[in-house]
């Protein structure tokens, strides 16, 4: 059974210098990982305090992790990598706070150094078959460094615990290309929410130009799987712990008054961070009290603000803003026996927290951006079914997609949130029970172990598309070897038209093969099974290949001309009604806005050519069009491809690779050699199908091709075909 090597910025404990003891860490990532139960041997790798060097850290914890592997960094290096780059650049950028980004090249260089240290440490302990799970934005560069060291020896997964912003935001980041190029080296990339995945896919396409589909990205090293794996918590453990004697003791201490004599409680539990929306929460509570004076003296907000980065001025200013606002609300609405906002600026024990969860009538999460937010999940599992509470949850938290029966709020809408507070306070017990039950049942059925197992199962079974380093077919030795191969058996030859048999020209209607190539095709059609596979429509290809007795596949294999029967066969089973006319309208809009571009309409596809348009603007419009078409027709049986100066939307079944599979199923035998040549993105589908069962040739030099051979200049195709087959 393969080992799980979990990699995170820190190991889940630190050294308390004052008490000279080990302190277990908290936080969403630690909670999630520590809640995993698996039969696989687990190794957890991360940084640790220098003071732990002299101790055997594997004896420090009773957790079921098999082994901890520490990385020790100097304080200066760690501070630069963690505080000055991860937290001062990546954290605000990923949370839509670009004004807070403080980029300094030196810190990015240290970030790179630390990521490389991590990669080397992983490489030194990993064995063939291990599954590596890298966590979060601190280690964005680790996948690429690691893959360079270990290749395909191990599977590498990356999980992002924070939001991934829209392309417009991310593109402002200075090392944007470096980071994306590394992340996509992973075999599987996981996100909490589909919106993060969607943003990531679009950003990769905009910056790296990699073809993206809904759940995968085709990169220069194969296909990277994308997935949505909303993190969870050790649900049953939280439920059982919340009913323990220790929690009951804390409950009696914190709430000595009888139920009918205490305030209704609204609870907020957040790190004191600008992404958590604590000032907005206080404004909404202030508005609630102002608009509902009958609740003054009866409803209290308990806000726990766990200190973070206390030595950073920005966070010191945030603390001042929050404390000033707490003072204003308490001064405005407070009474001798009533404090509207009880503010706690420190961490509290788990028993205290669970006691607050059980007694709070409302949990208010007002995050402006939040990767997931596990507090609301813990709150749900801690609820007493005899008196359950209500979750008010920011629509900008990833947990909104998980907790279906939480009440959604927009923390920027102060009035709207104040009204939702009133709704929650006045909600009937019956409705509260119904809402909590649905969410509890979900969390019991999908806890942190299920989260980990889902991700790791995907990672363990993910296969990289094999990328072959194409070699020059003009090399004399290569040509001679292939010539000997093709003379031994009968040959089946698949050839593309534009860019392969005919050069690319500014007016597609003018494209034609040279007399020499036409003569070669005539000879090949007599001694081999020759099939011209093109994206062109029937009328065009028949006209251009007049006099050549060969089979033809039009529109990427949507239609097949059988020379023996002299008729065209339709190979498409799906209808184009749901997409064709609407796609044409979108493409026409782009055509009207892009000088010198034009549309080519076919039976099962529409091609938009921009080869004569201003180069940069044409490429820009093409990428926007691809994103629009994919977004509009997601879930329908169509594919959208960006080729050489052309964007094409076509029926998914119109695929050159699929056509070759169909053809060979009916005509292939062990006595046949198969050869295919093409120049475009659509021809890669042919190369993919024939990787292990044929010889493939890419026209043009392309490091990303799956072809076995390349021919640098299209004008040499006549000579190569003669040398190989005649």
Question: Around 718, how many Cα atoms within 13 Å sit in the side-chain half-sphere?
Answer: 12
Cβ neighbours of residue 27 closer than 8 Å, sequence gap 6 or more: none
Instruction: Give the closest residue to 160 by CA, choosing from 103, 86, 217.
Output: 86
Contact 255, 267 (CB under 8 A): no
Distance, in Å, from the CA atom of 4 to the CA atom of 159, rounded to the nearest integer, reads 14
> In this structure, are residues 150 and 66 in contact, taking their beta carbons and an 8 Å threshold?
no
Distance, CA of 69 to CA of 65 (rounded, Å): 11
CA dist 710 and 683 (Å) reads 13
Question: Which is it for the CA torsion 176, 178, 179, 183, positive or negative?
Answer: positive
What is the maximum alpha-carbon separation in the chain?
Answer: 103
Distant-in-sequence, close-in-space partners of 303: CB < 8 Å, separation ≥ 6: 268, 270, 278, 281, 282, 326, 341, 342, 343, 344
Instruction: Find the catalytic residue in 161, 405, 556, 708.
Output: 161
Question: Directed axis angle between helix 235-242 and helix 375-382, to 10°?
Answer: 50
Contact call for residues 170 and 155 (beta carbons, < 8 A): no
- Exactly one of 88, 136, 193, 370 is catalytic; which is it? 370
Closest listed residue to residue 74, CA positions, set 66, 63, 82, 85 = 82
CA distances from 604 to 579, 607, 640 (A): 10, 10, 12
Q: Are 15 and 54 in contact (CB under 8 A)?
A: no
Give catalytic status of residue 161 as yes or no.
yes
Residue keyed to tokens 């993206």 = 212
d(CA 599, CA 594): 11
At CA 150, angle to CA 148 and CA 153, rounded to 5? Answer: 135
Active site residue 551: no
Measured between alpha carbons, how far apart are the two ends of the chain, in Å?
A: 53
Measured between alpha carbons, how far is 302 from 315 in angstroms, rounded to an integer?
20
**Residue 387 in 3-state DSSP?**
coil
Burial class (CB in 10 A: 0-12, 13-18, 19+), 582: middle
DSSP-assigned beta bridge partners for residue 300: 265
- Cα separation, 25 vs 15, in Å, equals 10
CA R_g for the chain: 31
Residues in a beta bridge with 621: none
Q: Note whether 354 and 389 are within 8 A (CB).
A: no
Q: Which token pair is 621?
A: 């419009």
Inter-residue contact 84 to 51 (CB < 8 Å): no
Q: What is the DSSP string of 231-243?
A: ----HHHHHHHHT
Q: What is the distance between the alpha carbons of residues 200 and 182, in angstroms, rounded to a whole number?
A: 13
Query: Which residue carries 């003072």 as its tokens?
Result: 327
Taking residue 654's Cβ as centre, other Cβ atoms within 10 Å add up to: 28
Cα(281)–Cα(367) distance, rounded to whole angstroms?
Answer: 9
Q: How far apart are CA 592 and CA 57, in angstroms?
A: 66
Q: Which residues are catalytic?
A: 161, 370
């Amino acid at each position: 059974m393969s080992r799980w090597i979990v990699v995170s910025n820190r190991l889940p404990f630190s050294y308390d210098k004052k008490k000279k003891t080990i302190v277990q860490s908290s936080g969403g990532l630690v909670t999630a990982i520590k809640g995993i139960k698996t039969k696989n041997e687990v190794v957890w790798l991360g940084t640790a305090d220098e003071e732990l060097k002299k101790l055997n850290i594997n004896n420090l914890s009773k957790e079921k992790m098999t082994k901890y592997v520490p990385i020790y960094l100097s304080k200066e290096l760690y501070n630069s990598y963690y505080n000055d780059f991860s937290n001062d650049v990546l954290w605000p950028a990923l949370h839509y706070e670009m004004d807070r980004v403080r980029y300094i090249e030196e810190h990015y260089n240290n970030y790179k150094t630390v990521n490389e240290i991590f990669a080397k440490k992983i490489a030194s302990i990993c064995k063939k078959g291990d599954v590596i799970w890298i966590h979060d934005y601190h280690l964005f560069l680790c996948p690429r460094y690691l893959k360079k060291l270990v290749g395909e020896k191990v599977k590498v997964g990356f999980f992002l615990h924070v939001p991934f912003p829209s392309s417009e935001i991310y593109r402002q980041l200075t090392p944007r290309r470096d980071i994306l190029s590394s992340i996509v080296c992973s075999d599987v990339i996981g996100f909490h929410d589909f919106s993060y995945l969607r943003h990531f896919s679009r950003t990769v396409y905009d910056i790296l130009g990699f073809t993206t589909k809904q759940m995968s990205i085709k990169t220069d090293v194969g296909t990277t799987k994308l997935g949505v794996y909303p993190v969870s918590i050790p649900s049953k453990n939280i439920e059982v712990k919340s009913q323990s004697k220790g929690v009951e003791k804390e409950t009696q201490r914190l709430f000595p008054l009888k139920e009918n004599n205490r305030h209704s409680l609204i609870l907020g539990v957040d790190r004191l961070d600008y992404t958590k929306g604590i000032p907005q929460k206080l404004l909404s509570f202030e508005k609630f009290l102002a608009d509902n004076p009958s609740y003054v003296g009866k409803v209290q907000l308990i806000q726990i603000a766990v200190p973070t980065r206390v030595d950073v001025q920005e966070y010191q200013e945030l603390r001042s803003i929050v404390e000033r606002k707490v003072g204003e609300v308490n001064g405005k609405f407070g009474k001798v026996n009533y404090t509207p906002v009880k503010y706690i600026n420190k961490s509290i024990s788990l028993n205290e927290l669970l006691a607050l969860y059980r007694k709070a009538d409302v949990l208010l999460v007002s995050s402006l951006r939040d990767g997931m937010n596990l507090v609301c999940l813990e709150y749900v599992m801690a609820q007493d079914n005899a008196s359950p509470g209500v979750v008010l949850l920011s629509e900008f938290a990833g947990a909104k997609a998980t907790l279906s029966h939480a009440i959604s709020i927009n923390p920027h809408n102060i009035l709207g949130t104040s009204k939702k507070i009133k709704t929650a306070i006045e909600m009937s017990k019956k409705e509260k029970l119904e809402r909590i039950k649905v969410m509890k049942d979900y969390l019991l059925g999908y806890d942190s172990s299920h989260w980990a197992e889902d991700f790791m199962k995907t990672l363990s079974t993910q296969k990289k598309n094999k990328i072959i380093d194409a070699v020059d077919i003009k090399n004399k030795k290569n040509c001679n070897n292939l010539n000997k191969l093709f003379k031994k058996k009968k040959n089946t030859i698949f050839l593309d038209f534009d860019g392969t048999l005919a050069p690319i020209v500014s007016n597609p209607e003018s494209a034609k093969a040279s007399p020499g190539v036409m003569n070669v095709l005539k000879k090949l059609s007599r001694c081999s099974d020759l099939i011209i596979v093109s994206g062109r429509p029937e009328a065009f290809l028949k006209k251009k290949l007049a006099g050549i007795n060969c089979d033809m596949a039009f529109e990427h294999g949507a239609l097949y001309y059988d020379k023996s029967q002299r008729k065209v066969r339709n190979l498409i089973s799906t209808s184009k009604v749901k997409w064709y006319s609407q796609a044409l309208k979108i493409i026409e809009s782009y055509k009207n806005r892009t000088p010198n571009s034009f549309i080519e309409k076919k039976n099962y596809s529409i091609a938009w050519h921009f080869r004569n348009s201003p180069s940069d603007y044409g490429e820009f419009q093409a990428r926007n069009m691809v994103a629009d078409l994919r977004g509009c027709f997601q879930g329908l049986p169509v594919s959208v491809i960006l080729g050489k100066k052309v964007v094409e939307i076509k029926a998914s079944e119109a695929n050159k690779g699929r056509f070759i599979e169909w053809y060979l199923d009916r005509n292939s035998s062990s006595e046949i050699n198969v050869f295919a040549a093409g120049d475009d993105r659509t021809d890669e589908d042919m190369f993919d199908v024939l990787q292990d069962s044929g010889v493939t040739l890419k026209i043009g030099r392309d490091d990303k091709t799956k072809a076995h051979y390349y021919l640098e200049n299209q004008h040499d195709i006549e000579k190569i075909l003669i040398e190989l087959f005649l």
